[in-house]
Amino acid sequence: MKKKKIAQVPFRLNILFFVVFLLFSALILRLGVVQIVYGEDYRKEVERTEDEIVNTPVPRGKIYDRFHRVIVDNIPENAITYTRSKTTTPEDTLKVARKLAKYIDKPVDKVTERDMKDYWILTRKEKAEKKVSKKERKEFEKQGLSQKEIDKKIYELTLKRITPEDLREITKEELEIIAIKHEMDSGYALTPQIVKNNGVTNREYAVVSEHLEELPGVSATTDWKRHYVYENTFRSVLGNITEDDEGVPRERLDYFLARDYSRNDRVGKSYLEAQFEDVLHGKKAKIRNIVDKSGNVIATEKVYDGERGKDLVLTIDVELQQRVEKIIEEEIMATKRKGNSPLLDRAFVVMMNPKTGEVLSMAGKLLTKGEDGKTQFVDFAIGNITSAYAMGSAVKGATVLTGFQTGVLHPNTYIVDEPLYIKGTPRKKSWQTMGTINELTALQRSSNVYMFKTAIAIGGGKYRPHRSLKINPEAFTTIRKYFAQFGLGVKTGIDLPNELGGFQGKETGAGKLLDLSIGQYDMYTPLQMAQYVSTIANGGYRMKPQIIKEIRKPTDDAKELGPVIQRFEPVVLNRIDMKTEYIKRVQEGFRRVMQTPKGTAYAYFSGAPYKPAGKTGTAEAFYDGPIQSRRNDPTYNLTLVGYAPYDNPEVSFAVVVPWATQGNSDGINNRIGRRILDTYFELKAERAKGNVTNDATTTDAATNAEANE
Amino acid sequence: MGQDRLSQSKLDYNLLFILFLMAIVSAIAIHSAEATLPEKLQHVNFAYKQLQWYAIGAVVIALTMIIDYDRFFQIAWYLYGFGMLLLLGLELNVPGTVTNKGATSWYKLPGGNFQPSELMKIFMIIVLSRIIVNHREKYPEPTMKDDFRLLGKIALTVLPPLILLAKQPDLGMSMVFVAITGSLVLVSGIRWRIIFGIVFSVLMILAILVFIFFQFPNFFHKYILEDYQLNRFYGWLAPYEYSNEQGFQLIRSLLAIGSGELYGKGFGNLQVYLPEAHTDFIFGVISEQFGFIGASIVISLFFLLVYRMVHIALESNDLYGSYLCAGVIGMITFQVFQNIGMTIGLLPITGLPLPFISYGGSSLATYMLAIGLVLNVHSRTKKFMFSSDE
- What is the per-residue pLDDT across B89-115, written as a single tens digit (0 to 9) for each? 888 888 888 877 777 788 888 767 788
Residue B28's pLDDT band (cuts 50, 70, 90): very high
From A604, A661, A603, select the one nearest A634 (Cα to Cα).
Answer: A661
How many of the other CB atoms lie within 10 Å of CB of B113?
Answer: 15
All residues of chain A having their beta carbon less than 8 Å from the beta carbon of residue B272 are 46, 50
- In Å, how far is B32's CA from the nearest CA of chain A? 14
Any chain A CB within 8 A of the CB of B153? Answer: no
Dist. CA B227–CA B221, nearest whole Å? 7
Q: Which percentage of chain A shows pLDDT scores above 70? A: 92
All residues of chain A having their beta carbon less than 8 Å from the beta carbon of residue B186 are 12, 15-16, 19
Asked if the model's pLDDT at residue B261 lies above 70, the reply is: yes
Q: List the single residue in A with minimal CA-CA distance to B336.
A: A24
All residues of chain B having their beta carbon less than 8 Å from the beta carbon of residue A39 are 258-262, 292
Residues of A549-582 as b/e, b for ≥16 C-beta within 10 angstroms?
Answer: bbbbebeeeeeebbeeeeebebbbbebbebeeeb
Asked if the model's pLDDT at residue B332 lies above 60, the reply is: yes
Q: Do B187 and A17 touch (CB under 8 A)?
A: no
Asked if the model's pLDDT at residue A616 lies above 70, the reply is: yes
Residues A322/A515, Cβ–Cβ less than 8 Å: no
All residues of chain A having their beta carbon less than 8 Å from the beta carbon of residue B262 are 35-36, 39
* Residue range A241-281, pLDDT digits in tens: 888 777 788 788 888 877 777 777 888 888 999 889 888 98
List the domains of chain A with CATH numbers: 48-78+223-312 (3.90.1310.10), 89-188 (1.10.10.1230), 319-689 (3.40.710.10)
CA distances from A396 to A134, A380, A441, A451, B383 (A): 86, 27, 12, 7, 129
Q: Do A13 and B187 touch (CB under 8 A)?
A: yes
* Residue range A448-466, pLDDT digits in tens: 999 999 999 999 999 999 9
B268: exposed, middle or buried (C-beta count within 10 Å: 0-12, 13-18, 19+)?
Answer: exposed
Any chain A CB within 8 A of the CB of B140? Answer: yes
CA angle B127, B128, B129 (to 5 degrees): 90
- In Å, how far is B274's CA from the nearest CA of chain A? 7
Q: Do A293 and B333 touch (CB under 8 A)?
A: no
How many of the other CB atoms lie within 10 Å of CB of A73?
Answer: 17
Confidence at residue A259, expressed as pLDDT on a 0 to 100 scale: 78
Confidence at residue A542, expressed as pLDDT on a 0 to 100 scale: 95
Any chain A CB within 8 A of the CB of B134? Answer: no
* Residue range B367-383, pLDDT digits in tens: 999 999 999 888 887 55
Residue A691's pLDDT band (cuts 50, 70, 90): low
Query: Among the listed ranges A512-516, A525-529, A576-580, which one has the minimum average pLDDT value?
Result: A576-580
- Which stretches within A225-289 are classed as H helix? 235-238, 253-257, 271-275, 277-280
Instruction: Please name every residue paired with A51 in a beta bridge, in sequence order, or none if there are none.
Output: A290
Asked if the model's pLDDT at residue A360 lies above 70, the reply is: yes
Q: Do A35 and B287 touch (CB under 8 A)?
A: yes
- Which stretches within A506-660 are classed as H helix? 510-517, 526-537, 580-595, 602-605
Q: Do A35 and B340 touch (CB under 8 A)?
A: no
Confidence at residue B68, expressed as pLDDT on a 0 to 100 scale: 85
Biggest CA-to-CA distance, chain A: 149
Any chain A CB within 8 A of the CB of B341? Answer: yes
Q: Are strands A63-64 and A311-314 parallel, antiparallel or unpaired?
A: parallel
Residue to substitute from B134, B287, B346, interface A, most A β-carbons within 10 A: B346
Confidence at residue B302, expressed as pLDDT on a 0 to 100 scale: 95
- Which chain A residues touch B if contact means CB-CB below 8 Å? 1-2, 4-5, 8-10, 12-17, 19-21, 23-24, 26-28, 30-32, 34-36, 38-43, 45-47, 50-51, 146, 148, 291-295
Query: Among the listed ranges A689-693, B20-24, B348-352, which one has the minimum average pLDDT value?
Result: A689-693
Asked if the model's pLDDT at residue A141 lies above 90, the reply is: no
Q: Do A5 and B140 touch (CB under 8 A)?
A: no
All residues of chain B having their beta carbon less than 8 Å from the beta carbon of residue A32 are 292
Three-state SS for A589? helix
Residues A654/A364, Cβ–Cβ less than 8 Å: no
Asked if the model's pLDDT at residue A477 lies above 90, the reply is: yes
Dist. CA A94–CA A652, nearest whole Å? 63
How many of the other CB atoms lie within 10 Å of CB of A299?
Answer: 9
CB contacts < 8 Å between A and B, how many? 145
Q: How far apart are the first and last CA of chain B?
A: 12
> At residue B129, what is the residue type?
S
Any chain A CB within 8 A of the CB of B273? Answer: yes
CA distances from B36 to A298, A329, A377, B271 (A): 11, 70, 65, 9
All residues of chain B having their beta carbon less than 8 Å from the beta carbon of residue A1 are 136-137, 140, 319
Q: How many DSSP H helices and E strands does chain A contain? A: 26, 20
Residue B245's pLDDT band (cuts 50, 70, 90): low
From B34, B22, B25, B26, select the one nearest B268 (Cα to Cα).
Answer: B34
Residues A203/A348, Cβ–Cβ less than 8 Å: no
Q: Which percentage of chain A shows pLDDT scores above 90? A: 46
Mean pLDDT of chain A: 86
Residues B154/B129, Cβ–Cβ less than 8 Å: no
Confidence at residue A641, expressed as pLDDT on a 0 to 100 scale: 96
CA angle A294, A295, A301 (to 5 degrees): 130
Dist. CA B91–CA B255, nearest whole Å? 38
Q: List the single residue in B with minimal CA-CA distance to A290.
A: B271
**So which residues of A are the catalytic ones?**
393
All residues of chain A having their beta carbon less than 8 Å from the beta carbon of residue B136 are 1, 4
Confidence at residue A597, expressed as pLDDT on a 0 to 100 scale: 92
Residues B136/B102, Cβ–Cβ less than 8 Å: no
**pLDDT average, residue stretch B166-192:** 88
Any chain A CB within 8 A of the CB of B261? Answer: yes
Residues 6+ apart with CB under 8 A from B200: none
Three-state SS for A225? strand
From A434, A405, A406, A429, select the one nearest A419 (Cα to Cα).
Answer: A429
Any chain A CB within 8 A of the CB of B376? Answer: no
Confidence at residue A551, expressed as pLDDT on a 0 to 100 scale: 93
- In Å, how far is B336's CA from the nearest CA of chain A? 9
Q: Do B186 and A291 touch (CB under 8 A)?
A: no
Any chain A CB within 8 A of the CB of B226? Answer: no
The four Cα atoms B82, B83, B88, B94 give a dihedral, to 10 degrees, of: 70
Residues A290/A297, Cβ–Cβ less than 8 Å: yes
Dist. CA A13–CA B309, nearest whole Å? 10
Q: List the single residue in B with minimal CA-CA distance to A12.
A: B187
Dist. CA B185–CA A15, nearest whole Å? 12
**DSSP codes joined into one string, A386-441:** H--B--GGGGHHHHHHHHHHHTS--TT--EEE--B-BTTS--B--SS--EEE-HHH
Residues 6+ apart with CB under 8 A from A488: A395, A398, A502, A522, A524, A528, A529, A532
> At residue A398, what is the residue type?
A
Dist. CA A131–CA A68, nearest whole Å? 65
All residues of chain B having their beta carbon less than 8 Å from the beta carbon of residue A138 are none
- B169 versus A320: which is more confidently predicted? A320
